[in-house]
Amino acid sequence: MTVALDTGIKNARNVSRFVFGAGAVESINELLSRRRDKYGGHVILLVDEYFKDNYQSLDKIERHQQDQWIYVSTKYEPTTDAIDSICHQVKKAQGIKACGVVGIGGGSTLDTAKCVSNLLTNHGNASDYQGWDLVSMPGLYKIGVPTLSGTGSEATRTCVMTNKSTGLKLGMNSEYTVFDQLILDPDLTSTAPPNQYFFSGMDCWIHCVEALSGAYRNPVGDAFSRQALGLCREVFGSGEMMSGYNREKLMVASYLGGSAIAMSYVGLVHPFSAGLSVVLGMHHCIANCIVMASMKDFYPEPYREFMDFLKVNDINIPHGVCEDLSDDEFEALYRATIVHEKPLLNALGSRFSEVLNRGRVRQIFEAM
């Protein structure tokens, strides 16, 4: 087995603790009570704005007057400026020192919580930490409560942000980014719109397909990826993807897929998806699906399986998203894609830039 890439992670870190099961969200009350009793201070809760009008899903969480509840906009994916703005809002608020950060929502909200936790204990702005192991101090204690399954953000050591000034979509990739505690409650995914549930679940499936198809391989990462893929196939091949049992399985798959990414790389889909996100403002998970539908030449078997998933679950993905783009916009898509050297090297080898020349990249985007 040839190892073409080295992540630099020799001592991988996973989430220390998790609570799993229907109704598990109620356990957050005891966990936060212990934090307040032991360390004093308030808790910062960063919550997907969806729950501002659908608060019944979170009615088991006790509200304390001193806590900060901040609803995070998910209209756009996290940007470095948006993260800095939330940090400013947190620091400006009156009150005693916070004893923890809680993220409640999908991947964007969980990533936001991880970023904010780190920035509250490290100097500078979010853009200063886009890259590998740039965070020098542990962040505040943080709890992740996913309300969608698939992105793996609950398990990963990164939080992805787009820097609008540089046009780069990169993660704050550090062992300090890993959540200290997870609450995995499949009941929280029951109100997700079916399309969004599918797109998020496919992020897990695509992660694992790319990792297992790449040059960089790790036996532990492979094991996580294979198990996650098996669960995804059971869920999305069943015709009942949102049944209670399948929501449990997808939540487990998401955690395993996120754990796999800690010691492996993605491949072709994610760089192209990043291009769609940076240039056209598309959300990551649906962008992944749009790209996957154009990957027949590179991932023929996964492509066929993906198309079957669409039929079984009666899901339609947008087409023609790159119609009528200008030459400048196609150039921007090329640059936002080709900058992701490690995933492309993982997928295509050292001559990836020859395979993905400007003409070929434009052709792929034009097919979307």
Facing residues of 305 across strands? none
pLDDT at residue 10 in the model: 66
Q: Mean pLDDT, to the nearest integer, of 278-304?
A: 97
**What is the rounded CA–CA span in Å between residue 157 and residue 175?**
5
Q: Mean pLDDT, to the nearest integer, of 295-305?
A: 98
Query: Over the stretch 170-183, which tens digit does the pLDDT of each residue have?
Result: 899 999 999 999 99
Q: Mean pLDDT, to the nearest integer, of 221-249?
A: 97
CB 170 within 8 A of CB 130: yes
C-alpha closest to that of 188 among 252, 144, 145: 145
Single-letter amino acid, residue 366: E
What's 184's DSSP letter? Answer: E
Query: Over the stretch 311-363, which tens digit does the pLDDT of each residue have?
Result: 999 999 999 999 999 999 999 999 999 999 999 999 999 999 999 999 999 99
Q: Mean pLDDT, to the nearest integer, of 124-145?
A: 95
Phi, psi of 142 (to 5 degrees): -140, 140
Mean pLDDT score of the chain, rounded to an integer? 93
Q: Mean pLDDT, to the nearest integer, of 280-286?
A: 95
**What is the rounded CA–CA span in Å between residue 133 and residue 156?**
14
Cβ-Cβ contacts under 8 Å for 363 (sequence gap 6 or more): none
**What is the rounded CA–CA span in Å between residue 362 and residue 334?**
7
pLDDT at residue 5 in the model: 57
**What is the rounded CA–CA span in Å between residue 175 and residue 9?**
9
| Helix (H/G/I), strand (E/B), else coil: 298 | coil
Q: Which domains does the chain have, with CATH numbers?
A: 17-191 (3.40.50.1970), 195-366 (1.20.1090.10)
* Helices of type H across 62-130: 80-92, 107-119
pTM of the model: 0.93
What string of H, E and C letters represents the secondary structure of 301-320? HHHHHHHHHHHHCCCCCCCC
- Percent of the chain exceeding pLDDT 90 equals 83
Q: Mean pLDDT, to the nearest integer, of 67-74?
A: 94
What's 79's DSSP letter? Answer: B
